[in-house]
Amino acid sequence: MERKPRLLTVLDVLSIVLLAVATWMALFWAPMEALMGNVQRVFYFHVAAGWVGMMGFLLAVIAGIAYLRTGAGKWDIVGLSGVEIGLVFAFINIVTGSIWARPIWNTWWTWDPRLVTATIMFLVYVAYLMLREGIDDPNRRARFGAIYAIVGFVSVPLTFLSIRIFRTIHPTLVGSGDPAALGAFDMTPNMRMVFFFSLFVFTVIGIDLLWHRIRLGWLKDQVEQRKFQLMS
Amino acid sequence: MFFLQQGPAETTDYMILGLAVIFVTMLLHVISLRVRRRNLEKDIELLEELEGK
Amino acid sequence: MSSERHTQGSVAKQPSYLRSLAAIVWKDLAAELRSREVFSAMLVFALLVILIFNFALELNARERASVTAGVLWATFTFAGTLGLNRSMAIEKDRGCLDGLLLAPVDRSAIYFGKAIGNLIFMLIVEIVVLPIYSVLYNVNLFVPGLLLVILLGSIGYVAVGTLLASMAVQARTRDILLPILLFPVVIPVVVAAVKASDAFLQGLPLDQISVWLNLLIAYDVIFIAIAYMVFDFVVEE
């Protein structure tokens, strides 16, 4: 993977262009939400980022299973890249969720099940990185990473369920009684278009960044190997 | 529960903050990828010198 | 299930799965009975945590009833990591793990053996903490439903904890790593256990509690299954 593939350059350009278009659409083309005003426009990217984050972690799980079955190093690189991309977009998701909540609920944090679960999932994959940090043997590092990526991902739906049931019984915490209602609003057809387009754009950006990260991982792997050979 | 006023709330500042977070985060990540790549390429140069001996 | 084969000049014994399992559990229990280091550490730690909560929360008698479930489970969660850490560290430091791996025993027996051992330690600590808490705060904790929740919650905690501890112990950062790995993943157990415990202590009807019990059971089953499938990869060399 020495020279940068032409397709990747195309993807880079495409990502930037699409992001610009999506931003314009979210800012100017989409109608203003009746109650919340302009901050609602962040919602399109907030959800898109959450989606890409989740996909990154899911990729890490799939790569993890593949690594456990085949032992091929490339799956470890893919898994780690998936986690890194996932963390970047999950971070965006959580912070924009908080920013969106602030003017609406007058608080930087609501114990909304989705926001809390997103944060916990973020912490799980930070823990994943810390686990890898603490292991020197590359083979073991890859195996343990794969295992924890799987364990972590499986725990997330259960976490979401438990918090959601908790909220249904305790609606008196900050926010509305409906646990699904963090800033609920009805989307007009135009809004829906921007929403799905943003989803698409962020997916493209995610794939682009993922590809770059995988190439980086591959390069790092080769450098490590050559260093090792040199020293032995 | 929400304010009583004509028309939507004035929340443009928050929108700008939100968008800033999104773009800055992605930009920082891209920069991080670039920096790491450059470091690795330097390592390769060094390795090639050492190997070439 | 057990077969003993005698080959020429050597005796090859294939221990049954249950036998190996029991042997591993007994090894831990016997060692612990002699030294009591894990148990005493967990117990003292648990009592200290309860003490800290007492000063941190400073509640009157009525308010205290409402946080009992939470304080108990916070205590168990923290003390539990101590037990898990020590249990796995002993294995690694004394080189027992290598010995176990050489034995003709299915890998999963090692996992279940360690997990059951850890579970027993945790349950013993919990059983000792309950009356002490009862006495200190004048609240009756011997409600059968509560005991059931403690069992189900501890099973889930230990199922995941044993798996994660066996990985954490092999890292450089072993002591601080286990809680970081375990806590985010074990949250469904904590939420469900606290809610169910609280409901039982308040004497709520069973149909209100069943959702939490089901969640606990589901978690237990799912993670025991995952640990079983994945443990081989933790100990393979």
Can you give the pLDDT at residue C235? 83
Per the model's pLDDT, the better-predicted residue between C194 and C53 turns out to be C194
Whether C204 maps to a domain, the answer reads yes
Task: State the Cα–Cα distance between residues C218 and C220, nearest whole angstrom.
Answer: 5
- Phi then psi dihedrals of residue A3, to 5 deg: -80, 145
Whether C96 maps to a domain, the answer reads yes
The answer on pLDDT for C8 being more than 70 is no
Q: In this predicted structure, which of A126-130, A179-183, C30-34 has the lowest mean pLDDT? A: A179-183
Can you give the pLDDT at residue B4? 57
Q: Per-residue confidence at A176, pLDDT binned at 50, 70, 90? A: very low
Contact A100 B18 (CB under 8 A): yes
Percentage of residues of chain C with pLDDT beyond 70? 92
Whether B52 contacts chain A with CB within 8 A: no
Q: Per-residue confidence at A77, pLDDT binned at 50, 70, 90? A: very high
pLDDT tens digits for chain B (53 residues)? Answer: 555 556 777 878 889 999 999 999 999 999 999 999 999 999 999 988 887 76
Q: In this predicted structure, which of A156-165, A196-205, C79-88 has the lowest mean pLDDT? A: C79-88
The answer on pLDDT for C2 being more than 50 is no
B17 CA: distance to closest CA in chain A (Å): 8
Q: Per-residue confidence at C11, pLDDT binned at 50, 70, 90? A: very low
Cβ C220 vs Cβ C159: under 8 Å: yes
Q: Per-residue confidence at C15, pLDDT binned at 50, 70, 90? A: low
The answer on pLDDT for A195 being more than 50 is yes
Give exposure, C68-97, as e/b (b: 16+ Cβ within 10 Å).
bbbbbbbbbbbbbbbbbbbbbbbbeeeeeb
Can you give the pLDDT at residue C63? 79
Whether C26 maps to a domain, the answer reads yes
Among A33, A39, A219, the residue with its CB nearest the CB of B18 is A39
Mean pLDDT, chain C, integer: 86
Residues 6+ apart with CB under 8 A from B23: none
B2 contacts on A by Cβ (under 8 Å): 35, 104
> For residue C31, how many other CB atoms are within 10 A of its CB?
16
Task: State the Cα–Cα distance between residues A171 and A166, nearest whole angstrom.
Answer: 9
The answer on pLDDT for C3 being more than 60 is no
Q: Which residues of C touch A (CB under 8 A)?
A: 160, 163-164, 167-168, 170-174, 177, 180-181, 184-188, 191-192, 195, 211-212, 215, 218-219, 222-223, 226, 230, 233-234, 236
Whether C6 maps to a domain, the answer reads no
Whether C191 maps to a domain, the answer reads yes
Contact B19 A42 (CB under 8 A): yes
DSSP C157-187: HHHHHHHHHHHHTTSTTHHHHHHHHHHHHTH
Whether C11 maps to a domain, the answer reads no
Task: State the Cα–Cα distance between residues C81 and C154, nearest whole angstrom.
Answer: 12
Which residues span the domain enclosing C164? 19-235
Structure confidence by residue, pLDDT tens digits, C48-98: 998 898 888 876 777 777 889 999 999 999 999 988 988 888 777 777 767
Q: Dihedral of the CA atoms C146, C151, C157, C162 (nearest 10)?
A: 160
Task: State the Cα–Cα distance between residues C206 and C203, nearest whole angstrom.
Answer: 9
Q: Is C2 exposed, middle or buried (0-12, 13-18, 19+ CB in 10 A)?
A: exposed
- How many domains does chain C divide into? 1
- Tell me the average pLDDT across A15-41: 89
Whether C7 maps to a domain, the answer reads no
Cβ A211 vs Cβ A8: under 8 Å: yes
Percentage of residues of chain C with pLDDT beyond 90? 46
Nearest CA in chain B to A214: B33
A100 contacts on B by Cβ (under 8 Å): 14, 18
pTM equals: 0.89
Contact A159 C188 (CB under 8 A): yes
Structure confidence by residue, pLDDT tens digits, C113-143: 999 999 999 999 999 999 988 888 888 888 8
Q: Which chains touch C (3 or more CB pairs under 8 A)?
A: A
Cβ C161 vs Cβ C119: under 8 Å: no
How far CA C68 is from CA of C47, C127, C141, C202, in Å, comes to: 14, 15, 9, 11
The answer on pLDDT for C200 being more than 70 is yes
Can you give the pLDDT at residue C7? 45
Whether C3 maps to a domain, the answer reads no
Can you give the pLDDT at residue C54? 84
Q: In this predicted structure, which of A9-13, A176-180, A216-220 has the lowest mean pLDDT? A: A176-180
What ipTM does the predicted assembly reach?
0.87
- Tell me the average pLDDT across A150-166: 94
Give exposure, C210-220, as e/b (b: 16+ Cβ within 10 Å).
ebbbebbeebb
Any idea which residue has 């962020």 for tokens? A202
The answer on pLDDT for A152 being more than 80 is yes
Q: Per-residue confidence at A178, pLDDT binned at 50, 70, 90? A: very low
Can you give the pLDDT at residue C104? 72
